[in-house]
Structure 1
Amino acid sequence: MNILYLHGLESKLSNPKRKILQEYGSVFAPDIDYEKRHLQPKVILSKYPEVEFNVIIGSSMGALNGYIISENIGRLALLFNPPLIKYRKINFSARFTKGLAYKQLLLGGSDEVVNPSETMEFLGRHLKKSELEIITDPQLGHRIPQELFWEQVRTFFSKLCY
């Protein structure tokens, strides 16, 4: 299984979280500079022209790009606090297009960086386009603690028979 992990603004995939993901497959986690441009799905995929990703996982700005990639290549996605209010429809041809796919989202009710109400509003307008599981944690802020990350990854992959 090939896992594309997309980090958030001013962050990287930590070694403990990488080890969690490696239990499920090969992890591809590009360094992305979001300062000049927030939406970079084509650039991200162009780094791996021969890799067929099975799963997209992203946090914050990486979750936004992961959402767009998932919509275009039809792969399952696990998304943490995506700022979907910044979503812009970006269509691009991808070698592995299969249609829309299941997405699991975790939203922090106490997130002061990404407004969970705006994300829910966006999702409400797009309910007919994707199969979504939305999990909200009223106490969660923007950062995803390692234990919670592990729980969400385990739950997500259990739905894929892992």
Structure 2
Amino acid sequence: MNILYIHGLNGSLSDDKRVILETYGTVYSPSIDYEADSNSIEHLKEEFQYKDINVVMGSSMGGFVGYHLSIAFQRPALLFNPALVTRSVFQNIPVYNNLHRSFKKIVLGAQDDVVYPKNTLIFIADRINDNTDYQITLRQDLAHRIPLQIFKEEVAAFFNDYTI
């Protein structure tokens, strides 16, 4: 299993979270400078198109990028507080077609004051007919940052709920 994990703005995949993901497969987590690369989605698609990615994951800005890459690769996604509606850094959004029914689990923090969960829910509602099965988890105990225990729980739930 090959997992593509996309970090958030000015972030990276922590060693502790990498260890959790590595129990499920090989983890690719490129370093991305969103401010310098407004075409990060397309560049990542080009970089990983021959790596046989099975799952796309991401958080915040990485959740936004992961959302689009999961469509490009036709792969399931686990997205934490994805910045689907607004971002502080401009990114070009390529148009990819969701030809095959896809699965996206989106974990939203009710206490998030960076990526507002209500806006994300409206974004998803506007795309209800996009050939995607959404599973949305709204956690009252979660803000924008994803604590290790919640990360571990949601990754396990993702792999339990979706058979690749």
Please say whether Structure 1 and Structure 2 have the same fold, judged by a TM-score greater than 0.5.
Answer: yes
Q: Residue 56 of structure 1 aligns to which amino acid in structure 2?
A: V
Distance 1:82 1:104 in 2: 11
Distance 1:89 1:128, change over 3 A: farther
- Counterparts of 1:3-152 in structure 2 under 5 Å? 3-37=3-37, 40-86=40-86, 90-91=94-95, 99-129=100-130, 130-152=132-154
The answer to whether the 8 A contact 1:70-1:100 is kept is: no
User: How far did residue 88 of structure 1 move?
Assistant: 6.8
User: How far did residue 80 of structure 1 move?
Assistant: 0.1
Overall identity of the aligned pairs, in %: 38
The answer to whether the 8 A contact 2:41-2:69 is kept is: yes
Partner-residue secondary structure (3-state), 1:107: strand
Distance 1:122 1:21, change over 3 A: same
User: How far did residue 35 of structure 1 move?
Assistant: 1.5
Q: Residue 4 of structure 2 aligns to which amino acid in structure 1?
A: L
Distance 1:8 1:116 in 2: 16
User: How far did residue 47 of structure 1 move?
Assistant: 2.2
- Which consecutive segments of 4 or more residues in structure 1 shift more than 3 A? 36-39, 86-89
CA RMSD in angstroms comes to: 2.1
Distance 2:125 2:92 in 1: 16
Distance 1:73 1:110 in 2: 31
- Deviations along 1:40-59, one digit per CA (max 9) or x if unpaired, are 21111222342010000000
**TM-score normalised by structure 1 residue count:** 0.89
Distance 2:50 2:135 in 1: 30
The answer to whether the 8 A contact 1:76-1:102 is kept is: yes
User: How far did residue 99 of structure 1 move?
Assistant: 2.3
Aligned length: 159
The answer to whether the 8 A contact 1:42-1:92 is kept is: no
Distance 1:37 1:120, change over 3 A: farther
The answer to whether the 8 A contact 2:9-2:61 is kept is: yes
User: How far did residue 159 of structure 1 move?
Assistant: 2.2
Q: Residue 36 of structure 1 aligns to which amino acid in structure 2?
A: A
Gaps of 5+ in 1: none
